[in-house]
Chains A and B, each alone.
Chain A
Amino acid sequence: EAQVTQNPRYLITVTGKKLTVTCSQNMNHEYMSWYRQDPGLGLRQIYYSMNVEVTDKGDVPEGYKVSRKEKRNFPLILESPSPNQTSLYFCASSLKPEPSPLHFGNGTRLTVT
């Protein structure tokens, strides 16, 4: 089944404790992206990647890192999480170069205390 898989689904952590949210897609998509979703603010892009070893900042990259060492994986790293990073996170992927719909994972609910 074609899908984007994120783990974990739920994560509660404390301020400053490094964490990684994994994202993997099995559709051979070149484009991958991370979004955060907050009430009233919609989906905001954190980072995106057009292909392996190519990553770029989105609208809200502060406090986040990503890497794209393999085509299928695009982990999101929070080196020192803070409470304002409490949010619902989505990973998404799509084909290139023609614009095409994004395939989203089911989300990771992160709470930083």
Chain B
Amino acid sequence: GESVGLHLPTLSVQEGDNSIINCAYSNSASDYFIWYKQESGKGPQFIIDIRSNMDKRQGQRVTVLLNKTVKHLSLQIAATQPGDSAVYFCAENPPSYIPTFGRGTSLIVHP
């Protein structure tokens, strides 16, 4: 498959553990944030989003936390599964609408 994980921060977890992936964003005017998952050989896929008027949003097994004070975003994955192994990107949307992506974190789940 495609190798997009080179030189990326890597998080290794055991199956069943909870995973936390962090992201620092740069623009204090950004008002919309998204997490994407990219599996080998595929394009990034939307996981969960959050707007700046919220500080937490939950989906199925995933939670996004937003701390605007320190410009920090995190993605929590509960009961991590081997199928969660992928590269995870955060993206911020400033009012100009053009999203900016983080460099990504490679999540490796060991059975």
Interface string of B15-50 (1 = CB under 8 A from A): 000000000000000011010100001111110010
Let me know if B102 and A42 touch, CB within 8 A.
Answer: yes
List residues of chain A with CB within 8 A of the CB of B97. Answer: 31, 50, 96-97, 99
| Chain B positions near chain A (C-beta within 8 angstroms) | 2-4, 6-8, 31-32, 34, 36, 41-46, 49, 89, 91, 93, 97-99, 101-104
Q: CA of A43 to CA of B92 in the docked complex: distance in angstroms?
A: 13
Q: Which of A99-113 contact B (CB under 8 A)?
A: 99, 101-107, 109
User: How distant is the Cα of A43 from the Cα of B99 in the complex, in angstroms?
Assistant: 10
Q: Residues of A at under 8 Å CB distance from B?
A: 4, 31, 37, 39-43, 45, 48, 50, 58, 88, 90, 92, 96-97, 99, 101-107, 109
Q: Which residues of B contact A109 (CB under 8 A)?
A: 2
* CB-nearest residue of chain A to B34: A101
Contact: B98 with A45, CB < 8 Å? yes
